[in-house]
Amino acid sequence: MPGFSYVSYKLMQIYSFSYRIKSLHIVDKKDKEGITFMKTAIVTDSTAYIPKELRDKWNIHMIPLNVIFGNEVYQEEENISSIEFFEEVRNRPLPTTSQPPVGQFAELFERLGEEYDAVISIHLSSGISGTYQGAVTAAGMVENVKVYPYDSDISCMVQGFYALEAAELSEAGVEPEGIIRRLDEMKQSVRAYFMVDDLSNLQRGGRLSSAQAFVGSLLQVKPLLHFVDKKIVPFEKIRTRKKAMKRIADLLGEDAASGEEYKAVIIHANREQEAIEWREELQAEYPNVEFLIGYFGAVIGTHLGEGAMGMGWVKK
């Protein structure tokens, strides 16, 4: 980062996290008399697309959604990866997707209740899936643990930002209500935009007519989508992929111009090298933004299609 040493930058990150902790009125896991405070487990679903090594590092529990090819049911992130999915879908009819069964939620919550006092269960937007409602229903079925279902209003690694923040705060000893307050605070600065590269998946999934897809393809229309009131809606129609990606970058720039620290994720549908190159360009332009690389997995990829690209960000 220009003007800052690496040590200075890390000290700024530590100070920022310490300030958040203090603002939530947090106490250590044990007080002076050695009384242990509440232990909180963090759960999210597979559409957060948090890499396994990060889930393991922060002890985040993941419940998978399903992708269904005919009579074959795959649990995404468990027995089908994003790469495997895009290979499969090139030569097979478009699959359907389904949320986790309520019983699967209840079983996970009960098991976590043997070790934890509370569970915060963070899920993709209730406007595009019944997964969050499944967590709500299951929460009312278990008695050995207090469950806090949380609607992220979004999906993909931006949803993952909530889970990672919650896990970090839980590790620091923050009680569930304090974690929820921080997640609500994050929502005020979260932004995400997605570009659909190939309109055929929207058409095959019944979300776009054949005529619209044909005309759109001829015109090289690249729809930009975003979440409004929990649902995915059009933001703008842009003529080329290059212009669409520039438009997303400009939207990030409007927020980053404040000089405040942001965390952003570039999300791709089987276009990793392009995502890496885009990150290098953006990192040089926006030194106050920390960039990660994420991906669209099988469930979200079913609807957006291969080649989709997006970016989400949140204020640190």
Instruction: Tell me 100's DSSP state.
Output: P
- Helices 156-171 and 176-187: crossing angle in degrees, nearest 10, is 150
pLDDT surpasses 90 at 206 = no
Q: Which residue has the tokens 């998978």?
A: 64
Residue 305 forms part of a structural domain = yes
Q: Are 110 and 145 in contact (CB under 8 A)?
A: yes
pLDDT at position 24 is: 55
Does residue 308 sit within a domain? yes
| Amino acid of residue 274 | E
> Within 13 Å and on the Cβ side, how many CA atoms surround 221?
17
* Tokens 């509370």, residue located: 118
Flag whether 71 is in a domain.
no
Q: For tokens 């250590």, name the residue.
A: 28
What integer pLDDT is reported at residue 216 of this predicted model?
Answer: 52
**Residue 10 domain-assigned (yes or no):** no
Amino acid type, 130: G
Q: Write out the DSSP string of 185-203.
A: HHHTT-EEEEE-S-THHHH
Residues 143 and 244 in one domain: no
Element (H, E) at 139: helix 131-139
Rounded to an integer, what distance in angstroms lies between the CA atom of residue 311 and that of residue 316?
16
- 137 is a domain residue: yes
In a domain, 171, yes or no: yes
Burial category of 58 from C-beta neighbours within 10 Å (exposed 0-12, middle 13-18, buried 19 and up): middle
pLDDT digits 0-9 by tens, 240-252:
899 999 999 999 9
SS3 for 250? Answer: helix
Q: Which domain holds residue 225?
A: 191-315
Mean pLDDT across 110-119: 97
What's the CATH number where 263 sits?
3.30.1180.10
Residue after which a domain boundary falls, among 167, 187, 207: 187
Do 53 and 178 lie in one domain? The reply is yes
Are 171 and 235 found together in one domain?
A: no
Residue found by looking up tokens 């990030």 in the block: 252
pLDDT recorded at residue 202: 59
Statement to judge: residues 195 and 180 lie in one domain: no
What confidence score (pLDDT) does residue 233 get?
Answer: 83
| Average confidence score pLDDT of the chain | 87
Q: Which of 152, 187, 222 is the last residue of a domain?
A: 187
User: Is it the case that residue 207 has pLDDT exceeding 80?
Assistant: no
With H, G, I as helix, E, B as strand and everything else as coil, classify residue 276: helix
Question: 133 with 171, same domain?
Answer: yes
Per-residue pLDDT tens over the stretch 56-74: 999 999 999 999 999 999 9
Residue 167 zone, left/alpha/beta (φ > 0; ψ -120 to 50; rest)? alpha
The reply to whether 85 falls in a domain is no
Looking at the structure, do residues 236 and 254 belong to the same domain, yes or no? yes
| Residue 302 located in a structural domain | yes
Query: Of 311, 299, 316, whose CA–CA distance to 68 is shortest?
Result: 299
Residues 182 and 254 in one domain: no
Q: Which amino acid is at 103?
A: G
Same domain, 175 and 205: no
Read off the pLDDT of residues 266-312 as tens digits, 9 standing for 90 and up. 999 999 999 999 999 999 999 999 999 999 999 999 988 999 999 99
- Neighbour order of strands in the sheet with 118-123: 60-63, 40-45, 118-123, 146-151
